[in-house]
Structure 1
Amino acid sequence: MYNFRLFLVFYILIIGNTSLFAQMKGVNRQNYQIHINQTDKPIKIDGIFDEEPWITAERTGKFQRVTPTDTGYAIAQTVVMITYDETDLYIAAICYDPTPGKRPIQSLRRDFSFSGSDNFMVFIDTYDDLTNGFVFGVSAAGVQRDGIESNGDNVAYTWDIKWRSAVKSYADRWTAEFSIPFRSLRYFEGSTLWGINFGRLDLKTNEKSAWAPMPRQFKHNNLAFTGSLVWDQPLKKAGLGFSLIPYTTGRATKDNQTDEKIKWEGSAGFDAKMMLSTSLNLDLTVNSDYSQVEEDQQVTNLDRFELFFPERRQFFLENTDLFASLGKSGVQPFFSRRIGLDVPVIVGGRLSGQMGEGWRIGVMDMQTGSKGNTPSTNFATAVLQRQVFSRSNIVAFFVNKQVTGEYIDTLYSGSRYNRVAGFEYNHASPDDRWTGKAFYHQAFYPGATFSAATMSGSIVYATQYLRVTFDNSWVGSDYVAEVGYIRRTGYFETSPGLKYTFYPVGSKILSHGPSAYFDIIMDPEFKMTDRQTQLGYTIGWRNRNQLNFRISEQFVKLNRSFDPTNTGGIKLVSGSEFNWISANISFSSDTRRVLNFKVGSGYGSYYNGNKLTIVSSVHYRFQPYGSIAITASYNNIALPKPYSSAKLILVGPRLDLTLTDKLFITTFAQYNDQIDNFNLNLRFQWRFAPVSDLFIIYTGNSYTGDFINKNRGLSIKISYWIN
């Protein structure tokens, strides 16, 4: 029965996509076109458009509003021009500002938050596939933002390249000028058509707008709605590009828990980037160092399963969408934090890009060293993606973990290898209303059985008013993906969801509406182990305030003993059944204001007791030079004796200073009495040249009671980008 339901979901995806195949490629490609002509005249990047290429360049028509409503022309209009020469793509924008007052600027840090600053953005679909592309933008203060886009609307802003920009401010407008080297882009030689869209956020009018229009329920960068960039001649090959980023680092650490002396260490290594063709890239890393990576943001852990923390290391974030998008949340066959987080990375390489029209490839190989009881290990991943229909694709992948060293613990009898292979189908209709996914993954290791596998099917239908979701999954009892993040095994799960949004006319309320979510999990014998029913209502005002209500009913049958406070107290017995109801309310204020906040509270029964939760965060910006923020959570869990009750406090103040667009200081403290730890992280960053940095980082951990230090460390790292 379950396999039939999964097949039915997959069948709906295929049939739905086939029926849409005959539609025009790209919603706006015919009606929104801008022509680009080559110039041999010099262009000075200064935000002043007095050169001949700008005087003769074609200009965009009026920008259309996307939010708060997606009808009519924008109040704050924008005009864009575009040209190119042998080496660079040039973009010029005039951003009119009809509202008096200062332009909101969040900070001077690169890759600023989109919603916090007035900005102008460019979204480029270089492969003309409505799925993959590049994003470039600047704030009204001239701060750059760039990223690489995949899956139609997912942007990784950790991708950094060298490009030039300038912003010039006037009383009634501000201008932006870009110069983007062709070597920094990936495209097909001989291309004559790209997808492109231009976006603008003007916070004083509370307005998001775009040249090629899109419904307001979609992200601003959605490539399904790009217009056409028509080239005057086929594009030439950009030539081989090579960049070397050497680094050196030194650190001093002291562990006061073992009374060891200060340990001094130093290392050096490099990253290299090679542009093998206009569409294929090779990245190498040797003796990698991640000392500059910011600490994970801690959470109060009340979960029965392993928590998920996002990847923060630069090498694993760049050009890795093919790997990171495998599987689904909680069932991911590849999770880069399994590689080299606690052991050194000796060498690694990644080949990624397009191989002919409709084909994408990603190959990664990483070799780690040994440390303590962990032997040296090789991690390899290969992904091949083929685009089908207009915006969908089929994926085949292989993940391998191979222990290359010897186990120090001679009693350890674990496997020396673990492998996962699988196929996936990712669906996206031309107008992005229908999206979905179906996959089958099989694990291979000594003794693996048929149940060492997982499969899933999901589908989403989204319009301006209605959003319907359905997800069906099976994870076998023997499914082991050691390089992945597998939240739990041995279950069937079904999760339907429904949300409807009303948009009242002439009201201070922008939108409001109910939502319903249901999730049921069964064991391999189809006996229910978990169930959650959630009903909610959301109200959003035009001034960006938002209020949320939620009521939840939950059932749990423990598959192993568990302490609901996760503080080491007496555990509830495996097989015990619990049913509880809780209610939550949260409010978030207008993030455009220099002082904004979020607050929420929940109360209800919890296992065999009760739980009160209060969460809050306050942010204050002294723009554009920095911000102060503090987040806090309080959980009061009351359980009957002999079980442990707990009052858990987590507080995280943060000071972020952007003294200039090249000088940054961040102080981040985290007080967590659940794990009896106070963490302090201070980072100084000086970007002394494009994509070249000096970091000085201090990290310390102390007890929360007497604040006696457990350990501390100081690191210095310098890197330099050489073309």
Structure 2
Amino acid sequence: MSTGSYGQTTDPITLPRLQGSIELDGMPDETAWQKIDPLPMTMYLPESGQQPTEKSDIKVGYTDDYLYIGARLYDSEPSKIQTTGLSRDSGSPTDDWLAILLDTFNDNENMLGFYVTPGGALTDLTVFNDAQGDFPLNPSWNTFWDAETVQNGEGWFVEMRIPFSSLRYQSTESGTVTMGLIAHRWIARKSESSIFPAISNDWGWWGQHKPSLARKVQFTNLDQQRPFYVTPYLLGGFSQQHQLNDPETAYYRDDEFTYDAGLDVKYGLTSNLTMDLTVNTDFAQVEADNQQVNLTRFSLFFPEKRKFFQERASLFNFSFGGPNRLFYSRRIGINSGEEVRILGGARLVGQLGKWDLGLINMQTARQGPDIPSENFGVLRLRRKIFNKYSFLGTMFTSRIGDNGTYNYAYGLDGNIRINDDNYLTAIIAQTFENGNANNFASPGNSRVHLEWETRRIDRLGYSLSYSRSGAAYNPGIGFEVRENYSRLGNNIYYGWFSEKDSSPFVNQRLFLNGSIFFDNTDGSTQSASIGPRWNANWKNGNSINLGPSVSYENLSESFELFGRITIPKGGYRFYNFKGSFSTSEADLVTVKLNLGGGQFFDGYRGTGNLGVNWSLSPHFKLNPYYEINRVSFPDRDDHFTAHIGRIRLQYFFNTELSVSTFAQFSNAADAFISNFRLRYNPQEGNDLYIVYNENLNTNRFGYTPVKPLNNNRTILIKYTYTFGY
């Protein structure tokens, strides 16, 4: 295989088979590596298309069972190589890294990412929606693979080994498999990224993750891989919970010893279709949600962190924009922020012919008199149409309680590439539930979303959308911020890249953002906002966003803030300004600052938050965060200041053993919440967790009866071991 075979052609590259054995020791010096040519790398950031400042020899080969990557990552100043975390999934832009991204289904929309740092820390993630959006990654996804690294006076070196059984792919009858491949190296201290293939940075940071720009590669005579993993867990611990007695005159303490067991099974029905089964599912090791301050009359959205729902999670994405979606997995097993026991369930994801397929069925237990046992079902189908960048799909959901309640929903969605970077999205959905008329022809239980957007960050661009949600539309396993409204809005922008060496900026954009919400019943305006915004990214990695706005809110009824302040119904117009500044995420100390202020309904609001990521050493990370929201209503002599404080400390003994502490304070919630976790992870799928959680009441005497100091406390030990067959 010659270097010329990596040239810019539309024909897929046939990757070489390794001729000889590989000892996974981090040093790619075996004879098998010497027969493979390195990938030709070009600079992506900060100067697109230039020669990288450091030499990178990255080679890719495979055997019947594994994809191998061997890399010699030379560095003229090896003492300045950065590695700031040693545990699984601790990688960040503060670290140097080597990344391999694979579009395993060759669908030009999704990728699997495998990252390794000089210290040997592994991070894996998925990329979705062709890397479009504010954060088109899912870092909670994990699979089985390994890597070893070596550092010396020449730089750092790495060997990665990814089992084909950890990948899902579509093969032909002859065993030929086509995937998309992107390789990139990140040098943190220089904020420099080099990449293969030679992708332009016209799409900004996320362009180096875009499946549609990946180089097509082929594997020949690749047998189907059918993974079979059985992962039992054992759980034991102790909990204390303070409960209010029946007369509601005092609290009593309920002590309980906890012991449990469960089982997860992963089985590959084919190389591109995987079944996950779970019995008595437990998520004791999942970290607590970040506390948030809600200054709106709408519900808050929290991301999914539980691993069972992560594989190909983007397939189940049926989004109407923002947090609004037909399926929201946190509806399963969580009620009002509290866990509901999951008795068991199944999950099937993959491809059947030209169709992407996703299927979920879960059963939860009855919990008290108010929460019935429920069955949750989701079916997702999607396929490419017209061209490789467009798809048409459908989704069906069901939620059925043993008390006779039911909720059904279906939807159709399509994303069509019209030309170049212009895309049209069209979505329609309906819901049906007990107690409603459930008329197929009625717009009252329907949801519609249309959007036309430009997918690049330079030149003139736009995102224009129309949405409508009926009064009876209620997705039982979904998330909807508002009800009974129609919306017009989004933005128009102009972006440009700076001339090389003539400006400190990589790129800048000017936006005009705006939206308006109408009430479907009487056509009145519910909300509206409009304002310009300036965004700029420096070559050193810093970034800034600034912009004023004017807003209008029409409240048909009053609502409460913090359970203390009432906002009266009526119409309000107010002016605001927001700004944010971030230092480079590649720095050992990274600072993110957000400030805003102005009018707020019939009063005023000032807000600010400061977050710091401080990598003190490869073994120790410190992440403090503070947020303040001050609302004041002088005419009513009413005001409140909400404080949120968070601090996360992580200590990495090595790549296998780590401890972390996460503590939060919120005076709006009158709570101090702490979480301590020790994790021993000698290999993927083999974990020992020791978890301690405590929830303290910080405003005990503001309630009758007086609340106890400790609301609840738990200590748990959880052990999982994966058997592979």
Please say whether Structure 1 and Structure 2 have the same fold, judged by a TM-score greater than 0.5. Answer: yes
Distance 2:640 2:549 in 1: 22
CA distance in 1, matches of 2:594, 2:138: 29
Amino acid at match of 1:165: A
Equivalent position of 1:617 in the other structure:
611
Change (3 A) 1:320 1:585: closer
Q: Distance in 2 between matches of 1:648 and 1:537?
A: 29
The 1:155–1:578 alpha-carbon spacing in structure 2 relative to 1, beyond 3 Å, is closer
Structure-2 residue corresponding to 1:280: 273
String of CA shifts for 1:375-420, please: whole Å, max 9, x gaps: 10000000111111112111011000011x23xxxxxxxx611000
CA distance in 1, matches of 2:145, 2:697: 46
- The letter of the residue matching 1:346 is L
- Out of 70, 88, 105, the position equivalent to 2:66 is 88
Map 1:253-652 to 2 at 5 A. 253-257=239-243, 258-341=251-334, 342-356=339-353, 358-372=354-368, 373-388=370-385, 389-403=387-401, 405-406=402-403, 416-428=405-417, 433-446=421-434, 447-449=437-439, 450=442, 451-466=444-459, 467-505=461-499, 506-524=502-520, 525-563=522-560, 565-573=561-569, 576-642=570-636, 644-652=638-646
CA gap 1:128/1:103 in 2 versus in 1, 3 angstroms? same
Shift of 1:171: 2.1
Q: 1:214: Cα distance to partner?
A: 1.8
Q: What amino acid sits opposite 1:534 in the alignment?
A: G
Distance 2:711 2:542 in 1: 42
The offset of 1:290, in angstroms, is 0.8
Deviations 1:449-504 (A, max 9, x none): 41101010112213341341111100011101121111111000011302323333
Match runs of 1:139-154 below 5 Å: 139-153=117-131, 154=136
Match of residue 209 from structure 2: 221
Report the secondary structure of 2:497's partner residue. Answer: coil
- 2-side partners of 1:539 and 1:321: how far apart? 29
Unpaired stretches in structure 1, ≥5 consecutive residues: 1-26, 407-414
Structure 1: distance between partners of 2:593 and 2:63: 52
Give 2:394's aligned amino acid: A
Query: What secondary structure, in the 3-state scheme, does the structure 2 residue paired with 1:539 have?
Result: strand
Distance 1:553 1:364, change over 3 A: same
Which stretch shows the higher mean deviation, 174-183 or 582-591?
582-591
1:719 and 2:715 are equivalent in the alignment = no
User: For residues 451 and 70 of structure 2, what CA distance do their matches in structure 1 show?
Assistant: 42
* CA-to-aligned-CA distance 1:217-275 (integer Å, 9 cap, x gap): 252221111113243x332223x321011001123221235312311121100111001
Do 1:323 and 1:383's aligned partners in 2 also have CA atoms closer than 8 Å? yes
Would you say the 8 A contact 2:673–2:695 is kept in 1? yes
| Kept after mapping to 2: 8 A contact 1:420/1:442 | yes
CA contact (8 A) 1:76 1:205 kept: no
Q: Which amino acid aligns with 1:182?
A: F
Q: Distance in 2 between matches of 1:643 and 1:309?
A: 33
Counterpart of 1:679 in structure 2 is 673
Give me the whole-angstrom Cα distance separating, in 1, the residues matched to 2:146 and 2:646: 36
- TM-score normalised over the length of structure 2: 0.90
Q: Indicate the percent of aligned positions where both proteins have the same amino acid.
A: 25
1:196 is aligned to 2:181 = yes
Where in structure 2 are there 5+ consecutive unaligned residues? 1-5, 244-250, 701-707
Contact 1:688-1:694 at 8 Å conserved across structures: no
The aligned counterpart of 2:229 is 243
How much has 1:151 moved relative to structure 2? 3.1
Structure 2 residue aligned with 1:7: none
Determine the C-alpha separation between the residues in 2 that align with 1:166 and 1:589. Answer: 31
> Structure 1 residue 30 and structure 2 residue 31: aligned?
no
Distance 1:178 1:67 in 2: 24
Query: What is the SS of the residue equivalent to 1:224?
Result: helix
Give the match's secondary structure for 1:198.
strand
Change (3 A) 1:129 1:603: closer
Distance 1:537 1:39 in 2: 50
Distance 2:697 2:266 in 1: 43
Letter of the structure 2 residue corresponding to residue 121 of structure 1: A
Determine if contact 2:91/2:121 at 8 Å carries over to the other structure. Answer: no
Deviates more, 1:416-425 or 1:107-116: 107-116
Secondary structure of the 2:34 match is helix
- Aligned residue in 1 for 2:704: none
- Name 2:159's counterpart in structure 1: 177
Paired with 1:230 and 1:690, the residues of 2 have a C-alpha distance of 28
* Deviations, residues 282-324 of structure 1 (Å, cap 9, x unaligned): 0011000111110000111111111001111111222322223
The Cα shift of 1:713 comes to 1.4
Letter in 1 for 2:242: N
Give the conservation status (yes or no) of the 8 Å contact 1:34–1:59: no
Deviations 1:420-452 (A, max 9, x none): 001000235796x23442100011124224110
Task: Report the CA distance between 1:173 and its aligned residue.
Answer: 2.4
Tell me the matched-pair count: 680
Equivalent position amino acid for 2:268 in 1 = M
- Correspondent of 2:659 among 641, 646, 665: 665
Query: Equivalents in 2 of 1:143, 1:33: separation in Å?
Result: 31
8 Å CA contact 1:96, 1:173 repeated in 2: yes
SS in 2 for 1:260: strand
- Any conservation in 1 of the 2:505–2:537 contact (CA below 8 Å)? yes
Cα deviations across residues 72-116 of structure 1 (Å, max 9, x unaligned)?
222223222222222212121121223453212231122234422
Question: Which secondary structure state, in structure 1, belongs to the residue aligned with residue 308 of structure 2?
Answer: helix
Q: Any conservation in 2 of the 1:391–1:429 contact (CA below 8 Å)? A: no
Superposed CA deviations along residues 559-614 of structure 1, whole A, max 9, x for unmatched, are 32123x333333413xx000000112322223222222122322211100111112
- Mapped contact 1:512–1:538 kept (Cα < 8 A): yes
CA distance in 1, matches of 2:333, 2:691: 20
CA distance in structure 1 between the aligned counterparts of 2:72 and 2:694, rounded to whole angstroms:
47
- Matched position secondary structure for 2:672: strand
Distance 1:33 1:95, change over 3 A: farther
Cα-Cα RMSD? 2.1
d(CA) in 2 for partners of 1:251, 1:100: 46
Output the amino acid matched with 1:66: Y
Q: Aligned residue for 2:115?
A: 137
How far apart in 2 are the matches of 1:255 and 1:129?
A: 49
TM-score, L = length of structure 1: 0.90
